[in-house]
Amino acid sequence: MDKTIGIWMYQNSGGDKIEEKLVSKLRQRDIKSITNLNPRYGIAKNKDLFIKETLINDLDLFFSYNAGEQTQYQVYLYKIINNLMPMINSYESFTLSEDKFQTTFKLKNSGISTTDFELCHRDDTESLRNIMSQWKKMVYKPVDGWGGVGLTKIENEQTLDIILPFLNQADLRFFYVEKFVNYDNSDFRIDIVDGQFVSCYGRKASSDDWRTNITSGGSVFLREANDKLVDIAIKATKATGLDIAGVDIIYDRDKEEYVVLEVNGIPAFATPEQEKMGLDFNDKKLELITDMIERKIKDKG
């Protein structure tokens, strides 16, 4: 019997070409794809969920790979689609990875080194001050942010006093803060698919920033992994339950160990420019994804 999967994939930065390759790889294995299934256009009527003309209930798997166009509605439907069929990534692991605190808490409890962190109620400024006096430097992070946006480095107790009134004005439920890691302003991004190592590259912050994100002026460079890094990335991915993950790791100079910063559930493929630089992992990643889709469909059948 014919198998058909639904795809919602980012189209910018070469995503459209990646999607074409994925569709053609799947076709070679007699798996059909319906692309452009943006849940934004989802309509549920009684037991049926449609996205435009496609009856989602009939699909064998849904591949959701679009970080940029996510809406609350999309995430809301993600959950019911995942009740109907296997999803990559699963709803559960996807929502976990979208929340930095939920993720680091899970990682710490799985024995994986992460940055030290604290979560407290918005009114509990006393414990913020306490942890600040222990740590000396910390980073305030929105738990659902990306691209380095909203991260605030707090360098001393006076800075904390200055920004607390602002944080209190913002309509926050809680504070999530991390100890500021003494590191060389560069990181490792390790991609894992289906529990297997795909690739490693590095990013370094620009000279006037401490964040390695491209959106904060950081740049990508070629960087080899080592066994330790690969082991950490595989374990971190396993702990989150993600089928596809991009694990961000930095080296803590004080603790003299690698620490996981975050686990991304929709790690981008190399852009055409990055491919020219020598990041050549896209085909391997696509191959592993295709294998995994085929297997999950079979398991389901």
Ligand X SMILES: Nc1ncnc2c1ncn2[C@@H]1O[C@H](COP(=O)(O)OP(=O)(O)O)[C@@H](O)[C@H]1O
Neighbours of 236 (CB within 10 A): 26
Q: Rule CB under 6 A: say whether 39 interacts with ligand X.
A: no
b/e 186-196 (16+ beta carbons within 10 angstroms → b): bbbbbbbbbee
For Mg ion, how many residues bind (rule: CB under 5 A)? 2
Residue 139 binds which entry of Mg ion, ligand X, none, CB below 5-8 Å type-dependent: ligand X
Q: Rule CB under 6 A: say whether 262 interacts with ligand X.
A: yes
Report the residue number, 50 or 146, with the smaller CB distance to ligand X: 146
User: 203 to 232, contacts with ligand X by CB under 6 A?
Assistant: 205, 210-213
The 3 state secondary structure assigned to 52-72 is CCEEHHHCCEEEEECCCCCCH
260: left (phi over 0), alpha (psi -120 to 50) or beta: beta
Cα angle vertex 191, ends 189, 193, to 5°? 165
Q: Which candidate, 95, 100, 110, 75, places its Cα nearest to that of 174?
A: 100
Q: Rule CB under 6 A: say whether 195 interacts with ligand X.
A: no
Q: Per-residue x/- mask for ligand X, residues 132 to 171, rule CB under 6 A?
A: -------x-x---xxxxx-x--------------------
Neighbours of 11 (CB within 10 A): 15
Q: Per-residue x/- mask for Mg ion, residues 199 to 238, rule CB under 5 A?
A: ----------------------------------------
Q: Rule CB under 6 A: say whether 247 interacts with ligand X.
A: no
Q: Are 290 and 88 in contact (CB under 8 A)?
A: no
Q: Rule CB under 6 A: say whether 119 interacts with ligand X.
A: no
Q: Rule CB under 6 A: say whether 180 interacts with ligand X.
A: yes
Q: Which stretch binds Mg ion (CB under 5 A): 23-31, 219-227, 260-268, 283-291?
A: 260-268
**Minimal distance, residue 93 CB to Mg ion, in Å:** 17
Q: Rule CB under 6 A: say whether 248 interacts with ligand X.
A: yes
Token digits of residue 132 = 């600040």
Bridge partner residues of 54 (DSSP): 51
**Minimal distance, residue 10 CB to ligand X, in Å:** 16
Token digits of residue 248 = 């961000």
Residues of this chain that interact with ligand X (CB under 6 A) are 115, 139, 141, 145-149, 151, 178, 180-181, 187, 205, 210-213, 248, 261-262
